[in-house]
Chains A and B, each alone.
Chain A
């Protein structure tokens, strides 16, 4: 079964450094998402991306964050200057264009980001 893949699985960085989290969505999917989950808390929506542009973003997704689809397969999340509170599991997700039940999201296994 096709799956969303994310790299790296773990990322440790110093506060103030830039990080890029990488995702390869399922190949025929057209909608891409980033969510994050701070330890013990809920899965929070960050941003959605469709047709090479951001379609929706949350209050969390401030100027420190950016997303890019640099080629036909990768989807990246960049955090420009990491803060301690950015430490979380970051999930990439994708879905196809279908509506209704087929709007279900397929999640990658996540990147655990630790900011020291």
Chain B
């Protein structure tokens, strides 16, 4: 089975940088995903890591350390519209994506 942990809530101000951490335990790791979910809406894909290191994509970056079972999502130049839940998800080979409980990020002005 898989176990995914991430903080429940975080707050930050516009223009700041925030890092959302995720730890996972899985017996056959096959990729780590981050999704964004605005309240009442569907999750949308943000990033994917399968090898160690940093993947950068505009204001969002994601990092993975497979040996530590650790990932983080880095959001730069925060905007009010970034207020949402950020879902860490992992999968084992041949299995479905399993989500963590999500981190609710509140961005204030």
**Assuming the A-B contacts A42-B102, A100-B48, are A110 and B42 also in contact, with contact meaning beta carbons closer than 8 angstroms in the complex?**
yes
Do A45 and B96 touch across chains, with their CB atoms under 8 A apart? Answer: yes
User: Could you tell me if A56 and B87 are in contact, using CB atoms closer than 8 angstroms?
Assistant: no
Q: Which of A56, A100, A101 has the most CB of B within 10 A?
A: A101
Question: Given that A100-B50, A103-B31, A104-B33 are contacting pairs, would A42 and B99 also be in contact in the complex, using a CB cutoff of 8 Å?
Answer: yes
B74 at the interface (CB under 8 A from A): no
**Chain B 30-45 against A: per-residue CB contact (8 Å), 1 yes, 0 no?**
0101000100011111
Q: Nearest chain A CB to B94's CB is how many angstroms away?
A: 8
Interface size classification for chain B: 20 to 34
Q: Which of A53-104 contact B (CB under 8 A)?
A: 56, 91, 100-101, 103-104
| Pairs A–B under 8 Å by Cβ, sample size 26 | A33-B96, A41-B101, A42-B87, A42-B100, A43-B37, A43-B87, A43-B99, A43-B102, A44-B99, A45-B97, A45-B98, A56-B95, A56-B96, A91-B42, A101-B48, A103-B31, A103-B91, A104-B33, A104-B48, A105-B45, A105-B97, A107-B43, A108-B42, A109-B41, A109-B42, A110-B42
Instruction: Give the 8 A-B residue pairs with the shortest CB-CB distance, closest first.
Output: A107-B42, A104-B45, A42-B101, A43-B99, A101-B48, A48-B96, A45-B96, A109-B42
